[in-house]
A and B are shown apart, each in its own frame.
Chain A
Amino acid sequence: MSDQQQDRPDLSRRRKPQAAPDERVDPVDYRQRAPTPQAAPVVSQAPVATAGAAPRRGRPRREATVPFSTRLAPDVLELIDAASAAEDGATIRSVVEAAIREKYQTK
């Protein structure tokens, strides 16, 4: 092995340095992008509409997480099950979030 071992890495073959993908995101706006697998699901109560509440303007404020319920094709369900089983600590939520971000997130 010591014969094989190089003195130092070959610096000519390395990638050029790049800024972190969120370089232009100010720390106050920073949200972690990759879902943390073990993150405990945030239990959020749906806001109860109270009579006479001032109408909201602009984009409605979302809870940190929202319940998600819709019909899915069986093959998609199977994909979700397989993916969440394959990865240690993955949940249905983390798998779905990762997939959606992957396809639709525009930086």
Chain B
Amino acid sequence: MIESMQTLMVYSESGGVSKTTTAVSIAMTAAGQGRRTVLVDLDPRAAATKWLDVAPSGEGLHVGAILGDDDPQGWGEDLAVQSNWSNNLRVIPSARNVSNREADRADHAELRLRTALVGISADLVVIDCPNRQGGPLILSALNAADSIVYAATASSDGVDGVAGARRTVEQFRLSRERIGAPVTLSEAGIVCGRVQETIPSRPAVASTDELRATGMLLMPLVPERAIIQEVRLTGEWYGNYRKGAPVLSAYTKIVNQVIR
């Protein structure tokens, strides 16, 4: 059998620009389409972990265990916990203490996540990244991923976060090339989330134009809906509700463009 697992990271250097919403939506939509999916929460804030209401299978058995061990082979499979949202969705949870790993400068620590995911039984791995300017957590994701989706909102923070993230990716490529290592990471596009459908403000229009100018803006824009915030409180999938349909429809079209 040809290994065809796709590992996709969702990234921006800005906070609150819909990274987690995009990562969870892509993972859950893909799972709904029958793909065996694993969502990796790499953010110490653990927003995705809380939203999906999952807990590590034992004390400390979150993504920080992988990042804190120099031989985490197979641990991706071990640490992935079943989500009750879908039989096809598992989650490698995060926790506040993953923050300790941001100070780690052990040799090759940036390869641990990649190592842990080798051989995992999944068709798709989605990594929800924290908003960091490079650093150990982002490097772990960059080394593990083969595709990257930038998350943005129609705002200057959105534009700025994507620009910073693209610089990080470019720098990562250069440093890989410098040591003669293959670069397999490809940019799948920019998702613009939480877009107001009423008359957009001028900054919003200008920001959307800037995102479009990159040539990577994925369509459609994801509409803003209050239900997205409501389901975070209840730990549910918005796709189960009628009010979530417009958002689900947008993310489904995006999934069809970014997932192989």
Contact = CB atoms under 8 A, between A and B. Distances in A.
A17 B100 contact: no
A19 B100 contact: no
B154 interface: no
Interface string A17-48: 11111111111001010101000000000000
Contact of A32 (B1, B59, B103): B103
Interface stretch (A6-14, A60-68, A74-82): A6-14
A36 B103 CA distance: 11
Interface in B73-128: 73-75, 77-79, 96-97, 99-101, 103-106, 118-119
A25 B60 CA distance: 11
B99 A8 contact: no
Contacts of A25: 97, 100
Contact of B101 (A14, A20, A34): A20
Contacts of A16: 78
Given A14-B73, A19-B59, A23-B97, A9 B118 contact: yes
Contact of B69 (A11, A18, A26, A34): A18
A32 to B, nearest CB: 5
Interface in B19-65: 44, 58-61, 64-65
A28 B72 CA distance: 26
B71 interface: yes
Given A7-B1, A17-B66, A23-B64, 12 more contacts: A11-B119, A20-B60, A20-B64, A20-B67, A20-B97, A20-B101, A21-B68, A22-B68, A23-B65, A26-B97, A32-B103, A36-B105
23 contacts: A8-B118, A8-B119, A11-B119, A14-B75, A15-B71, A15-B73, A17-B78, A19-B60, A19-B61, A19-B68, A20-B65, A20-B67, A20-B68, A20-B97, A20-B101, A22-B100, A23-B59, A26-B96, A26-B97, A27-B97, A27-B99, A27-B100, A32-B105
Interface of A: 7-9, 11, 14-27, 30, 32, 34, 36
Which 5 pairs of residues, A with B, have the shortest CB-CB distance? A19-B60, A20-B68, A23-B60, A27-B99, A14-B74
